[in-house]
Amino acid sequence: MRFLVTGGAGFIGSHLVELLISEGHSVTVVDNLSTGRVEFLKGVMGNPRLRFIEADLLRPEVAREAARGVDAVFHLAANPEVRIGQQSPESIYRQNVEMTYNVLESMRVAGVRALAFASSSTVYGDAKVIPTPEDYGPLYPISVYGGSKLASEGLISGYAFTFDWTAVSFRLANVVGPRSTHGVIYDFINKLRRNSSSLEVLGDGTQSKSYVHVRDTVKAMYQLLMKAIDKGVRYEAFNVGTPDRVSVLEIAHIVAEAMGLTPQVYTTGGVDGGRGWKGDVKVMQLSVDKAMSWGWAPEVKSSRDVVRRAVAEALSEFKA
């Protein structure tokens, strides 16, 4: 097949592109490199089945050109930082909602009828049901970022039913692994590299969330989209994560141990009852029963093991 991957030079996108190429598909990548990096694609950059476009999908003509001649779209391009929402709602809206609209319109014009969307667990907000299933509701995101992902899901569902597409939204737990350039593991390693004697933890440290490895994530996105196309479904949402969670304080100790350090770990106390920042979901654990019933399962099955592997991979990258 011929795929378009928006944000394909990013953390998750670059792993997805590698998977698609390895499966024999042709891939067009569009990335403005605001957070993505060309070097993330170095393993496939010379492949004749890869086409790379450095451009901004906020320009409708870019989206239209990218969608021409493809069979399906993986839409990953977005502002990935949850915390920026309270600082710049306009940036979140434009890069997450307006860009999604441009991609959908380009698909409609080009006659592309299959889409996978990288959504987020943040659409659930402070869920009252843990583990949280896909049919939980009503959904009340507590960050502008989460709201933008839910708005995009709504647009995608509307287009899918109106124009007879197959569309799938993936509500991702915290994705970690090689090439990650933000998040708690990345932050802790950088803090300890600057000062090995102490480690600041945002919030009260009891925040507890699910983590999933990036390679398991892209396998879920690929396998479940292909199954949805085969089944001819209109729209589905899938949680992608591991069936447990790990606290921020536990992650701090895992990172310190992996670096051979014994820092004084202290918490800032946080905001709104111990959150790391405004809009930080304190407890997140997704039910992955639905994805598993469709045949996907994470290779790394616990959040602690995911974190341990990601820490080792990150430390290896820092040494390279």
CATH number for the domain including 182?
3.90.25.10
**Helix, strand, or coil (residue 122):** helix
Q: In tens digits, what is the pLDDT along the chain, a chain of 320 residues?
A: 999 999 999 999 999 999 999 999 999 999 999 999 999 999 999 999 999 999 999 999 999 999 999 999 999 999 887 777 556 899 999 999 999 999 999 999 999 999 999 999 999 999 999 999 999 999 999 999 999 999 999 999 999 999 999 999 999 999 999 999 989 999 999 999 999 999 999 999 999 999 999 999 999 999 999 999 999 999 999 999 999 999 999 999 999 999 999 999 999 999 999 999 999 999 999 999 999 999 999 999 999 999 999 999 999 998 87
What phi, psi does 311 have (nearest 5°)? Answer: -65, -45
Q: Are residues 139 and 197 in the same domain?
A: no
Helix runs in the chain, H state only: 11-22, 60-67, 89-92, 99-110, 144-163, 184-194, 214-231, 248-258, 289-293, 303-319
Q: What is d(CA 121, CA 133) in angstroms, rounded to the nearest whole number?
A: 11
52 forms bridges with which residues in the sheet?
A: 29
| pLDDT for the residue numbered 128 | 98
Do residue 183 and residue 257 come from a single domain?
yes
Instruction: Tell me the C-alpha distance between 312 and 258, whole Å.
Output: 7
Q: What is the C-alpha separation between 1 and 21, in angstroms, rounded?
A: 10
Looking at the fold, whether 269 and 135 belong to one and the same domain comes out as no
Please give the residue range of the domain that contains residue 300: 178-209+243-283+291-319
Q: Are residues 11 and 56 part of one domain?
A: yes
Residues 160 and 270 in one domain: no
Residue 159 sits in the same domain as residue 299: no
- Residue 81 pLDDT: 77
As given in the structure block, the two tokens for residue 92 are: 């979140």
Which pTM was predicted? 0.97
The whole-number pLDDT of residue 82 equals 78
pLDDT at 85: 59
Region at 125 (left for phi over 0; alpha for psi -120 to 50; beta for the rest):
left
Tokens describing residue 297: 């399962």
Check whether residue 185 and residue 306 sit in a common domain. Answer: yes
Same domain, 171 and 186: no
- Tens digit of each residue's pLDDT (9 = 90 or more) over 187-246: 999 999 999 999 999 999 999 999 999 999 999 999 999 999 999 999 999 999 999 999
Q: Are residues 222 and 265 in the same domain?
A: no
How many structural domains does the chain have? 2
Question: Tokens 């930082």 map to which residue?
Answer: 81
Q: Same domain for 183 and 121?
A: no
Do residues 17 and 41 lie in contact, with contact meaning Cβ atoms separated by under 8 Å? yes
Same domain, 148 and 16: yes
**Which pLDDT does position 300 carry in this prediction?**
98
Looking at the fold, whether 229 and 248 belong to one and the same domain comes out as no
Give yes or no for a contact between 99 and 92, defined as CB atoms under 8 angstroms apart: no
